[in-house]
Structure 1
Amino acid sequence: MSDQSFEPHATEFAPGDEGEGQVRTRILGYVVGLGLAVVLTVTSFFIAGTDLVWQPSIPVAIIVLAIAQMGVHLVFFLHITTGPDNTNNVMALAFGVLIVVLVIGGSLWIMANLNQNMMPMDQIMQMQR
């Protein structure tokens, strides 16, 4: 076979998946993540407090920025990438998201059902008279 050893180059890693490289590379990844998180946070506060953005689109813009910030945190700080060694992390994250969606969705479903089927307080007070 070949006696060439494969050593991954610094540019072959995904953001947040620097591995056991130099400390400088790892710190740079954290600083880039921090910078992106700060920019996204400042942008969301700017959008919420200004009249430069069309008012009905503000909630949508804030939701988009929140999803982008979640992605930044997952990649740069939690090191969730698409590499083969992160399969368990991605599966655990997907399971956690599923549980959160089920709990929140089930709670909203139950509250909506109770709101529809419960008698209003004024009718209860009239029945007691």
Structure 2
Amino acid sequence: MSNGHEQLDHAADLAPGDEYVEGGGIASRVLGYLVGLGLAILLTATSFFVAGTDLVWQPSIPVALVVLAIAQMGVHLVFFLHITTGPDNTNNVLALAFGVLIVLLVIGGSLWIMANLNHNMMPMDQIMQMQR
């Protein structure tokens, strides 16, 4: 009697991308992936529409693209990587955060090095004058 109640509670606590493995079969998993694919395609098409149309106020296009990109990252995290707020996903979230930190450090360090090199390089006209 309590087993059925626990299954209903467990099924109600699932995130949109999670599937209840015991209750459903492969059809529920495929349906979850198809919903995620549909949302990802919709967000991608919307991004291309926003970037290529004159119907959207021009100064708001970068902000709209950033919002759509963040929404698409959320769709990928939930529907394809199955990152949820459950206690069993703590290691996945920490690994994802560490990966994001490493990527940000590499990109930030590269930009810092390139800016420093650009600042310290001799301008081309001075090089030409030295060769004469």
**Same fold by TM-score, threshold 0.5 exceeded?**
yes
> 1:28-87 deviations in whole A, cap 9, x for unaligned?
211111111111011001001100111121122111111110110011011111111111
Answer 1 or 2: which has greater helix percent.
2
Cα distance in 2 between the residues matched to 1:88 and 1:9: 21
Establish whether residue 127 from structure 1 lines up as the match of residue 130 from structure 2. yes
> Which residue of 2 is the match for residue 115 of structure 1?
118
> Given the two structures, how large is their TM-score scaled by the length of structure 1?
0.90
User: Residue 43 of structure 2 aligns to which amino acid in structure 1?
Assistant: L
Among 94, 97, 115, which residue is 1:94 paired with?
97
> Which residue of 2 is the match for residue 18 of structure 1?
19
> Which residue of 2 is the match for residue 84 of structure 1?
87
Unaligned runs of 5+ in 2: none
> Which residue of 1 is the match for residue 2 of structure 2?
4
Among 41, 45, 49, which residue is 2:44 paired with?
41
Question: Cα RMSD over matched residues?
Answer: 1.5
> Given the two structures, how large is their TM-score scaled by the length of structure 2?
0.88
> Which residue of 2 is the match for residue 104 of structure 1?
107
Give percent identity, aligned residues only. 79
Greater RCO between the two (CA within 8 Å, min separation 6)?
1
